[in-house]
Amino acid sequence: MTDPSEAAPADCHPSKIVVGSRNSKLALVQTHHVIQLMEQQYPEKKFDLISMSTTGDKILDKALPKIGEKSLFTKELETALEAKEVQFVVHSLKDLPTTLPDGLVIGAVLEREDPRDAVVMHKDFEENDLSNLPASSVIGTSSLRRKAQLLSNFSHLSVQSIRGNLNTRLRKLDDNKQYSAIILAMAGLNRMGWNDRISKVLPGSEMMYAVGQGALAVECAEDDAKTLQLLSPLHHRETALLVVAERSFLCSLGGGCSAPVGVVSEFINDGKSLELEGGVWSLDGTKTLRKKLCCSLKLDTEEEPPRKKAVHSQPPIFCGIVSPAADVELYKLAFKLGQDLADALISEGASVIMEEARKANELS
């Protein structure tokens, strides 16, 4: 693979670029946002959008972990990439497995929205919060991570699966009294302009969020150096470092997108250190493992003198994310932090809890 820094100038790229997206309202809003950013960078180019339904969009009568396939919200888009029907596709990063199909990479990670989860209450319970809802009140979520933490922190509640796009789930909450509340990602509500629906923002101490949640990822072909070059202005280094650590943690644990695993990550010490907290739960919330580690970073390192690069050098890839040449050492530190945290939790029994959760989900 050609180093993006040695790729042909952006104006050598075809004037028309085809972009892939899921056809949900939120996905289209996110993809149009990326296209607008690209249009600002490259006003001379035309960006055409192709949208499609994915497996996860089509199968709505089963909880996500029950469908039994990987890449539920990405497979069809990646097939289009592999067939060169699109030049790049836009994803919610939390939907992307930590191991991508051969030949595909994340060429850019955009600056992260708020990664936390939010409670949206039914109108009959607007004055309540989760702690004082009546016993056996039903909370809707399709996430095992959210379910396990809800049961761990609010044992008086009942949790039931709710499927559908963001607007569909809000409609299900509003139109009947089956659910007292639902849990949604703040990022999606913010991007849709539905902040007024948020009843409470859940802090990481109460609800650790999904790996990559709140960040957008732009996926393209590994050997498409021109597209990688085009995407480079969109790449947000600080977000990328955080999600590399998170994805490394999940990958090292052996968990998938729907596993009962959560994270909280942030820069501390004025940006000189990266802190990562990880958690693993049993499905019923009765078993919990949480641990926090940090590593030293120095984001304001002076640039090294230019060095001659090998003609066929390949930019390193960390859990699918392409690292700019200048940031490789920082990415290595973030990646190792995720591995170290996973190893620490595994030594305390995380693998056993995750395996029990997998079997319990299969039997439920």
Burial (CB count <10 Å: 0-12, 13-18, 19+), residue 269: exposed
Q: Are strands 46-52 and 16-22 parallel, antiparallel or unpaired?
A: parallel
Domain chopping of the chain, boundaries: 16-114+212-363, 117-202
Q: What is the pTM of this model?
A: 0.88
Catalytic residue among 3, 57, 95, 340: 95
- For the cut 50, the answer to whether the pLDDT of residue 9 exceeds it is no
175 is catalytic: no
Nearest to 324 by CA among 2, 4, 1: 4
Token look-up 């994803």 returns: 91
- For the cut 70, the answer to whether the pLDDT of residue 310 exceeds it is no
Position 112, amino acid: R
- How do residues 41-84 score in pLDDT, each as one tens digit? 999 999 999 998 665 444 344 444 543 444 545 788 899 999 99
- How do residues 201-228 score in pLDDT, each as one tens digit? 999 999 999 999 999 999 999 999 999 9
For residue 113, what pLDDT is reported?
97
Same fold across 16-114+212-363 and 117-202 = yes
Locate 46 and state its tokens: 């035309």
Q: Which CATH class is domain 117-202?
A: alpha beta
Fold adopted by 16-114+212-363: D-Maltodextrin-Binding Protein; domain 2 (3.40.190)
